[in-house]
Amino acid sequence: MHKTELIAALDTDTLKSAENLLKKLEGRVKFFKIGSVLFTAEGPAAVDLVHKHGGKVFLDLKFHDIPNTVKGAVRNAAAMGVYSVSLHLSGGAEMVKACAELEKRPKLWGITVLTSFDEYGLFRAGYRCGIAKTVRNLAALGLAAGADGVVCSPLEAAALKKEHGPGLKLITPGIRPQSRGDDQKRAVTPAAAREAGSDFIVVGRPIIAAEDPAEAAAAILEDLK
Ligand code: C5P
């Protein structure tokens, strides 16, 4: 049976609120995402905090720059001991390759099309061949250049697994147990993400903004079974 792991996004502004959340999720969630919100406020101390609580870190800083710069950032992320980092595959094959060549490095998870995009938004951003094809193209480029996993919406997951095989690691944000009517346009439920073949689901607000984050995480884990 295919297993889907929950990554909770620590999208908080302070170490204190991040630690509160870690404590509430203790025993349930072991994998945490640190993104630009917490990292710009607290820096590497946020990574240390998760490690101190025995958790694994996905450092989601969505790198997108010239190859040499991104390679330097990934090298520094490796020194922090994070499990994985994200890079925008639209940064190009050379950028991904420069990072993949690092001897000691975290897993490279390549972002295709953000889950906040719908067809119209992507078209306006200049991508003229539609979400499905853009995701396919970027995933193929990233995997050929050495990416270890692909970040996409669960809606594109099945097609990517079909094309690249069941061994492809898929990381899917845009998870909504219930519709929230927010910025995530290509959102699905945890169960639908698992059925589509997601290896990791990334969940932020449905846990963080819940009255009882532990209960919200437990319900999501139940849905993943
Ligand atoms: O609150 P919500 O569940 O929308 O949080 C999703 C998290 O996943 C956010 O931290 C967001 O930055 C991140 N993410 C995303 N789409 C991607 C990659 C990461 O929403 N393609």
pLDDT at 17 over 80: yes
Query: What per-residue confidence (pLDDT) applies to 33?
Result: 98
pLDDT confidence of 1, banded at 50, 70, 90? low
Percentage of the chain modeled with pLDDT above 90: 93
Separation of 174 CA from ligand 1 center, angstroms?
6
Q: Atom of ligand 1 at shortest distance to CA of 182?
A: 4
Separation of 113 CA from ligand 1 center, angstroms?
12
Q: What is the pTM of this model?
A: 0.95
CA 167 – CA 179 distance, rounded (Å): 30
Q: Atom of ligand 1 at shortest distance to CA of 37?
A: 10
Q: Atom of ligand 1 at shortest distance to CA of 152?
A: 21
Phi then psi for 117, rounded to 5 degrees?
-85, 140
Query: What per-residue confidence (pLDDT) applies to 179?
Result: 81
Query: What per-residue confidence (pLDDT) applies to 54?
Result: 98
Q: Which residues line ligand 1 (CB under 6 A)?
A: 9, 11, 35, 60, 111, 114-115, 151, 173-174, 184, 202-206
Separation of 150 CA from ligand 1 center, angstroms?
14
- What mean pLDDT is predicted for residues 63-82? 98
CA 53 – CA 37 distance, rounded (Å): 20
Query: What per-residue confidence (pLDDT) applies to 181?
Result: 84
Six token digits for residue 216: 């919200």
Six token digits for residue 118: 């719908």
Separation of 52 CA from ligand 1 center, angstroms?
24
Which residue's alpha carbon is at the smallest distance from atom 9 of ligand 1? 204
CA 113 – CA 131 distance, rounded (Å): 7
Give 197 or 186, the one with higher predicted confidence: 197
pLDDT at 14 over 90: yes
**Any idea which residue has 């845009």 for tokens?**
174
CA 35 – CA 20 distance, rounded (Å): 17
Separation of 151 CA from ligand 1 center, angstroms?
10
Q: Atom of ligand 1 at shortest distance to CA of 208?
A: 1
pLDDT at 60 over 70: yes
Query: What per-residue confidence (pLDDT) applies to 169?
Result: 98
Which residue's alpha carbon is at the smallest distance from atom 19 of ligand 1? 173
pLDDT confidence of 185, banded at 50, 70, 90? confident
Which residue's alpha carbon is at the smallest distance from atom 7 of ligand 1? 204
174: which residues sit within 8 A by CB, 6+ positions away?
Answer: 115, 116, 153, 154, 184, 185, 186, 187, 188
- What mean pLDDT is predicted for residues 165-187? 91
Domain covering 5-224 assigned CATH 3.40.640.10 in the classification: no
In tens, the pLDDT along 84-116 reads: 999 999 999 999 999 999 999 999 999 999 999
- What mean pLDDT is predicted for residues 153-172? 96
Query: What per-residue confidence (pLDDT) applies to 186?
Result: 83
Average pLDDT taken over every residue of the chain:
96
H helical segments located in 101-212: 119-124, 131-145, 154-164, 190-196, 205-208
Q: Which of 158, 155, 159, 160 is nearest to 173 (CA)?
A: 155
